[in-house]
Amino acid sequence: MNETATDSQEKPQLVQAFPVKEGDFASAGSVSIAVKKMLKDVGLDHQLLRRAAIATFEAEMNLVMYGGGGEIRLLMSPHTLRMEIQDQGPGIPDLDLAMTEGWSTATPEMREMGFGAGMGLPNIKRNCDRLNIQTEVSHGTTVEFELDII
Amino acid sequence: MVSPTIREIIPILNARVLCCQEKLDTPIKQAFGSDLMSDVLAFSPEGTLLLTGLTNVQVVRTSEISGICGVIFVRGKQPDEKVIELAKQFELPLLSTDLPMFDSCGLLYQLGLKGFSG
């Protein structure tokens, strides 16, 4: 199917892709801070960029802690901010459980860093307008979420 | 509601300022005490003062993401220089008090500061 001009304008375009390393607690969170700064620089509403930053930060921590590293992609259209977070990690065996607040498979090291409270995916959901998670055990997970720009 | 500044709570907690002296006149909208950064992200609105016993670099990054106005390290905890340097980059005031978490929160509550439950 051909895209109309409007479709093409509306489809979020890639702004930047950021690699994230496994277990790199020293720089974990830096991508989200860079994303927040980029969104601030383009003049996005303060609350919107805060929600986007929190959701991205949670996803970034998941990549560092569980996903074996991966990539975060920032995409934008005039009305939509879209984040795509992809890993080739172990996948999530039970997504419903993973979406439950307080459910966690964190290691003691992760908890020592202040994470692993089982708030990651629920907090992403809370801070975005649309969330889609594709996961397959042994093949990895893709988390995509969007926020409406108003 | 009372909105004390960070400077105003220094004598109450007998706190030491570790960095960003120039940001001490920021009004504190509310406060949150936690060692869990995941919960800070979930429950701390913009302009919250964070009290924590955790001193690693993730406290600073979480604060930057969440819009925390300042961090008080309780129980005499002292972050290392790398943490302080990162906080300076984000203009995030860091303070340290010898008081434990419960006592610190109690004193600030008495002053009129509230948590996210209002």
Q: pLDDT tens digits for A70-84?
A: 999 999 999 999 999
pLDDT beyond 60 at A8: no
SS3 A14: strand
d(CA B22, CA B4): 16
CB of B27 closer than 8 Å to CB of B4: yes
At residue B51, φ and ψ (nearest 5 deg) are -110, 130
pLDDT beyond 60 at A4: no
Arithmetic mean of pLDDT, A29-53: 95
Cβ–Cβ contact B67 with A under 8 A: yes
ipTM at complex level: 0.90
- pLDDT band at residue A1, thresholds of 50, 70 and 90? very low
pLDDT at A150: 84
CB of A131 closer than 8 Å to CB of A65: no
Place of tokens 């969330």: A131
Residue from B29, B38, B46 to probe the interface with A (highest A Cβ count within 10 Å): B38
Residue from B65, B82, B89 to probe the interface with A (highest A Cβ count within 10 Å): B65
d(CA B58, CA B40): 11
pLDDT at B70: 98
pLDDT at B116: 85
Judging contacts by C-beta atoms under 8 Å, the chain B residues touching residue A122 are 42
pLDDT beyond 60 at A6: no
- pLDDT band at residue A2, thresholds of 50, 70 and 90? very low
Q: Is the pTM of this model over 0.90?
A: yes
Which residue in chain B is spatially nearest to A37 when comparing CA positions? B65
Q: Return the number of other C-beta atoms located less than 10 Å from residue A93's C-beta.
A: 12
Burial environment of residue A52 by CB neighbours within 10 A (0 to 12, 13 to 18, 19 or more) = buried
Cα B16 to the chain's mean position, in Å? 12
Cα A9 to the chain's mean position, in Å? 23
d(CA A132, CA A145): 6
Reference B115, options B61, B49, B67; nearest CA is: B49
Averaged pLDDT, groups of 10, chain B, 118 residues long = 88 98 96 95 94 97 97 97 97 98 97 90
CB contact under 8 A, B65 and A33: yes
Average pLDDT, chain A: 92
d(CA A133, CA A84): 10
CA distances from B49 to A65, A114, B72 (A): 27, 17, 8
Arithmetic mean of pLDDT, A4-18: 79
d(CA B74, CA B99): 6
Q: pLDDT tens digits for A100-125?
A: 999 999 999 899 889 988 889 999 99
Q: Could you give the angle at which helices B57-66 and B81-89 cross, rounded to 10 degrees?
A: 20
pLDDT beyond 50 at A59: yes
Beta-strand ranges (E) seen in B11-73 are: 16-19, 30-33, 48-52, 70-73
CB contact under 8 A, A119 and B59: no
pLDDT at B11: 98
HSE-up of residue B74 (Cα within 13 Å, Cβ side): 19
Interface of A with B in 89-148 (CB under 8 A): 112-120, 122-123, 126
pLDDT beyond 80 at A7: no
Cα A29 to the chain's mean position, in Å? 11
- Give me the total of CB pairs closer than 8 Å, taking one residue from chain A and one from chain B: 68
SS3 B80: coil
A84: β partners = A73, A144
